[in-house]
Chain A
Amino acid sequence: QKEVEQNSGPLSVPEGAIASLNCTYSDRGSQSFFWYRQYSGKSPELIMFIYSNGDKEDGRFTAQLNKASQYVSLLIRDSQPSDSATYLCAVNIPTNSGYALNFGKGTSLLVTP
């Protein structure tokens, strides 16, 4: 089983703080990594992807990847109540027929005013 692990939370942060969401994965052959945001009752929405070790910034979001440690994280700066959602980590794993995207169970984030 190709595992993607996330702390289910809830992670509670005050408005304006940095939220740090973490994810570990088991398959060293994983090539690409994605973060999705999912509001309650809605479908997942892609917010970030990262392929290379290091940091990738997009507005208030920073994705961090460390392939040696099999660890990927998402930082949300200046957190807003509208960021309250479940954040899904997804890892693209090579298969015989291409790639399969494996999702974690998600981390619930609550940003309090």
Chain B
Amino acid sequence: GIQVEQSPPDLILQEGANSTLRCNFSDSVNNLQWFHQNPWGQLINLFYIPSGTKQNGRLSATTVATERYSLLYISSSQTTDSGVYFCAVGAGGFKTIFGAGTRLFVKA
């Protein structure tokens, strides 16, 4: 089955810093999502991005499907950005594979 690898596994930032999170996947996919899991466990949809680039405020994402990776950019980080960021891919049908996540802590 498809393997999904996220890097880095852990990241500590000073408030105001920028960061890039990476998601590599081992086979062709037909959908890709980025989620933020807050400290209470709620998964918040960030981007649905099988290919191309999208932006939403301080966050943007790029998926290069032909090279099997996606990047999530966080600019001017805030303490509320802390949590776990997950990449999830689907390769057909309804099955979705999640990466192990990147744990982000933003210091005030």
Mutual binders A and B: no
- Which chain A residues have a beta carbon within 8 Å of chain B's beta carbons? none
